[in-house]
Amino acid sequence: MRKVMWAPWRGEYVGGKREPGCIFCPPEGPLPDEERLILYRSDKVLVIMNKFPYTTGHLLIAPKSHIGELEKLPEDELLAMMKMCQEAIKILKEVLKPHGFNAGFNLGKVAGAGYPEHLHLQLVPRWEGDLNFLAVLDDVHLISQHLLTLYRKLFPYFQELKI
C-alpha cells in the first residue's frame, strides 16, 4: 500500500507560482516583514527565510543591489553578505544546534538559481543523518518546524545586528 505525505505549502513552488517582482527587492508596506519572512534588512544586505526550505532554518542572504552576477557586486555589499553569513551561522548554531552547514551561490538559472537576476547566498543548516529515506526515495524534505514559529524565534537575534 502506497503512503502519502502531504505538504500542501510546496504546491506553490512545484506549480511554478512565483511572487510578482523580486523577493529580494520587497517594496515598503503593505505586507509586514514577518509575512515576507524577512529577518533583517539594511542598506547593504537582506536576510529572508526560504519559503520553500530544504531544511529547518534555510536562509537566503542577498545584497541590496539587484545584481545577478557575483563578479559585478560592489565590494562593500559582498563583504556585508559574508559578514551576515558569519552572524547567521552563529545565530542558527545557538537557536537550532545544527551539526554543520551548506553555504553557497547558485549562479544563473542553469545552476538552479530561482531568482537568477538577484544574487543570493543559500545558508542551509544540516544535521547528522538529515538525509533520510524521504529525500532518497522521492525528493521529499522533512521540515520539523512551522516557518512562522521559527521566524519568531530567529527575529530577535537578527535585530541586534548592525551590518
Q: Give, for all 163 residues of the chain, the pLDDT tens digit.
A: 544 444 554 455 445 555 667 889 877 767 788 889 999 999 999 999 999 888 899 999 999 999 999 999 999 999 999 999 999 999 999 999 999 999 999 999 998 888 899 999 999 999 987 764 444 444 555 556 678 888 999 999 999 998 8
Burial of residue 80 (CB within 10 Å: 0-12, 13-18, 19+) is: buried
> Does 3 reside within a domain?
no
Asked if residues 75 and 138 have their Cβ atoms less than 8 Å apart, the reply is no
> Does 7 reside within a domain?
no
Helical (H) or strand (E) element with 134: helix 133-138
3-state secondary structure of 101: strand
What is the per-residue pLDDT for 12?
Answer: 52
In 3D space, the residue among 62, 60, 19 whose CA is nearest the CA of residue 42 turns out to be: 62
User: How many domains does the chain fold into?
Assistant: 1
> Does 136 reside within a domain?
yes
In whole angstroms, what is the distance from residue 27 CA to residue 23 CA? 9
What is the per-residue pLDDT for 28?
Answer: 72
> Does 24 reside within a domain?
no
> Does 163 reside within a domain?
no
What is the per-residue pLDDT for 17?
Answer: 57
Helical (H) or strand (E) element with 89: helix 75-96
> Does 10 reside within a domain?
no
Q: In which domain, by residue range, is 41 found?
A: 33-157
- Confirm whether 120 is a catalytic residue: yes
pTM score, whole prediction: 0.77
What is the per-residue pLDDT for 163?
Answer: 85
Given the residues 66, 120, 141, 146, the one annotated as active site: 120
State the CATH number of the domain containing residue 133. 3.30.428.10
Residue type, 15: G
> Does 153 reside within a domain?
yes
In whole angstroms, what is the distance from residue 121 CA to residue 48 CA? 11
C-alpha cell at 51: 519559503
What is the per-residue pLDDT for 142?
Answer: 54
